[in-house]
């Protein structure tokens, strides 16, 4: 079973059942990635994700819950055609300039009942959402339904140092006041959920070996970069890193 922790968070109102992206689209949430260390962490995420996108042949990309702009804006810069779905109108705030310029489309909708036809996009992505979604298998099913051939998601794992998260929960709250519900996954849980929807994993990369909250607490980008480089070189990150980014492709039998 997945393992969860939670904390109360004040988010906007929405008629939909899963609305974690309202919080992740706020300026308050963005402060978790402020400063040099935060920029470095986002750069790692961006490099991996864009690398996963480049050889898929995708042009249209649906970013579910992507109002935080962590990937929608880089995707715009790379020349893709992104659509961001948010659970409330205010989720557009951090990508408003790109939307106003016509370089990114924004749609309000239910992440568990996406308002798009089957296979409407070449690729569907969702970051910072799976872990905060109580009905995450339904989210995966919807991502698969609207994607022609590729889905890319991230999730924290139980095989990493995040497994001690329950013991560090109060410390994490002191460092990050906006801590909310999250789920730790086994890789097989995610892979099996995609398999039930006709998708198989073809690429997987773990981002960091040390918990992200530790890097935020250190506030020493150079030290974090050096530590993570050593962990990658010794194989620790590949073995037990987190969060994991996976690329799922539609199986031939489902094409």
For residue 179, the SS3 value is coil
Binned at pLDDT 50, 70 and 90, residue 89 comes out as: very high
DSSP 3-state assignment of 244?
strand
The pLDDT of 241-251, averaged and rounded, is 96
Name the residue among 229, 168, 176 with its Cα closest to residue 40.
Answer: 229
Between vectors from CA 31 to CA 27 and to CA 32, what angle results, nearest 5°?
A: 125
Flag whether the pTM goes above 0.95: no
Q: Look at residue 90 in the predicted model and tell me its pLDDT.
A: 97
Q: Which two tokens stand for residue 242?
A: 């987190």
> CB–CB of 145/197 below 8 Å?
yes
> What local confidence, expressed as pLDDT, does residue 182 receive?
75
Q: What is the pLDDT of residues 205-240, one digit of tens each?
A: 999 999 998 899 999 999 999 999 999 999 999 999
Tokens 């579910």 belong to: 64
Tell me what percent of the residues of the chain surpass a pLDDT of 70.
85
If pLDDT is split at 50, 70 and 90, which confidence band does 33 have? very high
Does residue 77 have a pLDDT over 50? Answer: yes
Domains of the chain: 18-154+183-206 (3.40.50.150)
Q: Residue 3, Cβ neighbours under 10 Å: how many?
A: 15
For 105, which DSSP code? E
Q: For residue range 129-153, list pLDDT tens digits in order.
A: 999 999 999 999 999 999 999 999 9
């Amino acid at each position: 079973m997945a393992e969860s922790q939670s904390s109360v968070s004040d988010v906007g109102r929405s008629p939909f059942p899963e609305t974690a992206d309202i919080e992740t689209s706020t300026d308050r949430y963005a402060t978790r990635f402020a400063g040099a260390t935060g920029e470095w962490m986002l750069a790692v995420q961006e490099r991996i994700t864009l690398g996963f996108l480049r050889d898929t042949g995708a042009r249209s990309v649906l970013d579910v819950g992507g109002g935080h702009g962590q990937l929608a804006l880089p995707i715009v810069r790379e020349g893709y055609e992104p659509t961001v779905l948010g659970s409330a109108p205010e989720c557009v705030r951090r990508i408003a300039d790109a939307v106003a310029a016509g370089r990114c489309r924004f749609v309000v909708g239910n992440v568990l009942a996406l308002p798009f036809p089957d296979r409407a996009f070449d690729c569907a992505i969702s970051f910072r959402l799976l872990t905060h979604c109580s009905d995450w298998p339904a989210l995966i099913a919807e991502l698969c339904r609207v994607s022609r051939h590729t889905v890319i998601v991230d999730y924290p794992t139980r095989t990493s140092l995040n497994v001690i998260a329950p013991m560090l929960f109060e410390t994490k709250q002191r460092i990050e006041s906006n801590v909310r519900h999250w789920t730790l996954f086994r890789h097989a849980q995610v892979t099996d959920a995609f398999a039930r929807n006709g998708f198989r994993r073809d690429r997987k990369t773990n981002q960091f070996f040390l918990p992200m909250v530790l890097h935020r607490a250190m506030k020493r980008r150079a030290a974090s970069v050096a530590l993570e480089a050593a962990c990658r070189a010794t194989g620790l990150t590949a073995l037990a890193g987190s969060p994991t980014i996976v690329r799922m492709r539609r199986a031939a039998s489902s094409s």
